[in-house]
Amino acid sequence: MNAGDHQLGIYLAGMLEGRTPELTTDLAALENAARKVLSPEALGYIVPSAGSGSTARANLEAFERRRIVPRMLRGVERQRDLSCEVLGTRMPAPVLVAPMGVQTLAHEEGELATVRAAAAVGVPYVHSTAAAHDFEQVAAAGGDAPRWYQLYYPTDRDVCVSFLRRARATGHSVLVVTLDTTLLGWRPADLDRGYLPFLAGTGIANYLSAPSFAGVDNPVTHWAGMFPNPGLSWDDLPFLRDHWDGPIVLKGIMSTEDARLAAEHGMDGIVVSNHGGRQVDGALAALDALPGIAEAVGDRLTVLFDSGVRTGADVVKALALGAKAVLVGRPVLYGLALGGQAGVEHVLRCLLGELDITLALSGYSAPGELGPGALAG
């Protein structure tokens, strides 16, 4: 997308044409609209968080608490360029689609609709190990647009290597290793309903075509033997280096100590994230962890961020606190539920448009100009 595409007027005219009223441009309000169309199981899996939801609320509250200080008369460019390069990937703005599994819960086309929408806007798509469509299907739908791959490090090393090989062969350029979900968090909405998508066979598409799954009687039981991996340690990272020749990013870093360890282990990047509050209820807000981590390691590796990004202003705040780019999670699934591919495109275009306008009105021509001084306090 060119910056000119989201110049007010021109941009809004394009966006409003044919748009269903549920697809509001108030991105923070999308959740309520999506709640009305999601099935009870999908709603229970996607929207709530771990435990009492206190970390998920803290994520949003941390964004609410930080305030932008708009600056005037700074000669902001009329045609702004938000594009950037992150770990060798060009993107129209510092925004990626977060890895999310089981997207067919939100819409029958699931990941295929999302990757097509991401490709249409040019926003990188991160393919989840727990996707309902496999590497090959997602790559065929996404074409040449940028894609990264998110690994759930399985207990079975042959399966791990087969994932890395297929990810490379299907054009994924960066490996994102998720560390905070070696077990699923305590999620009352799912527990009370007795529902998990995997037990119904959804979200194991990548596994089904892996070698050790050939001929097994019960793939779900086989999956259950290799997904939980709480024994994972820093010593397991060199194995990934041996089998992946591109950048490696660790997702789920929440402490400066772990951020330093990531740098010492030669990682290329981290995602400061608490998994949208879906794992450790009671964990600190991801945005509150960000500035200390960026300060400690920002010059040694690429610091990315997710958890609680809902609006363009939120993107500004995360960038100001040291993130090079942000990943957006649930809002993408809300767009998917409300309008399939068009719904996801809507969400991404709105997010980029609102980011652009918020930046400009705050006195900045490009995301790289932001720093802690852009925020109050």
Ligand X SMILES: O=C(O)C(=O)c1ccccc1
Ligand Y SMILES: Cc1cc2nc3c(=O)[nH]c(=O)nc-3n(C[C@H](O)[C@H](O)[C@H](O)COP(=O)(O)O)c2cc1C
- Contact residues: ligand X, CB under 6 A: 101-102, 130, 181, 184, 203, 275, 278
307 binding ligand Y? (CB under 6 A): yes
Measure the N-to-C terminal CA separation of the chain; round to a whole number of Å. Answer: 34
275 binding ligand Y? (CB under 6 A): yes
Report whether 311 contacts 25 (CB < 8 A). Answer: no
Neighbours of 341 (CB within 10 A): 21
Residues 133-152 that bind ligand Y (CB under 6 A): 150
46 binding ligand Y? (CB under 6 A): yes
Question: In this structure, which amino acid lies at residue 10?
Answer: I
- 330 makes contact, choosing from ligand X, ligand Y, none, with CB < 5 to 8 Å by partner type, with ligand Y
CA–CA dist 247, 126 (Å, integer): 14
Nearer of residues 99 and 343 to ligand Y, judged by Cβ: 99
| Structure token digits, residue 374 | 């852009």
Closest distance between ligand Y and the C-beta of residue 320, in Å?
18
Instruction: Provide the 8-state DSSP code for 3.
Output: G
1 binding ligand Y? (CB under 6 A): no
Provide the H-helix boundaries in the chain. Answer: 10-16, 30-35, 40-46, 54-65, 110-121, 135-142, 157-169, 188-193, 205-208, 219-226, 237-243, 256-264, 286-297, 312-320, 330-362
Which residues 6+ apart lie within 8 Å of 223 measured at CB? 198, 204, 207
Closest distance between ligand X and the C-beta of residue 25, in Å?
27
306 binding ligand Y? (CB under 6 A): yes
Nearer of residues 322 and 329 to ligand Y, judged by Cβ: 329
49 binding ligand Y? (CB under 6 A): no
Closest distance between ligand X and the C-beta of residue 49, in Å?
9
Q: What are phi and psi of 221, to 5 degrees?
A: -65, -40
Whether 275 is catalytic: yes
| Structure token digits, residue 310 | 């809902």
- 307 makes contact, choosing from ligand X, ligand Y, none, with CB < 5 to 8 Å by partner type, with ligand Y
Nearer of residues 11 and 149 to ligand Y, judged by Cβ: 149
Closest distance between ligand X and the C-beta of residue 110, in Å?
12
335 binding ligand Y? (CB under 6 A): no
DSSP lists the bridge partners of residue 177 as: 151, 250
Choosing from 6, 133, 222, 275, the catalytic residue is: 275
Closest distance between ligand Y and the C-beta of residue 128, in Å?
3
Report whether 116 contacts 88 (CB < 8 A). Answer: no
Active site residues: 275
Residue numbers of the site for ligand Y (CB under 6 A)?
Answer: 45-46, 59, 98-101, 128, 130, 150, 178, 251, 273, 275-276, 306-309, 328-330, 333
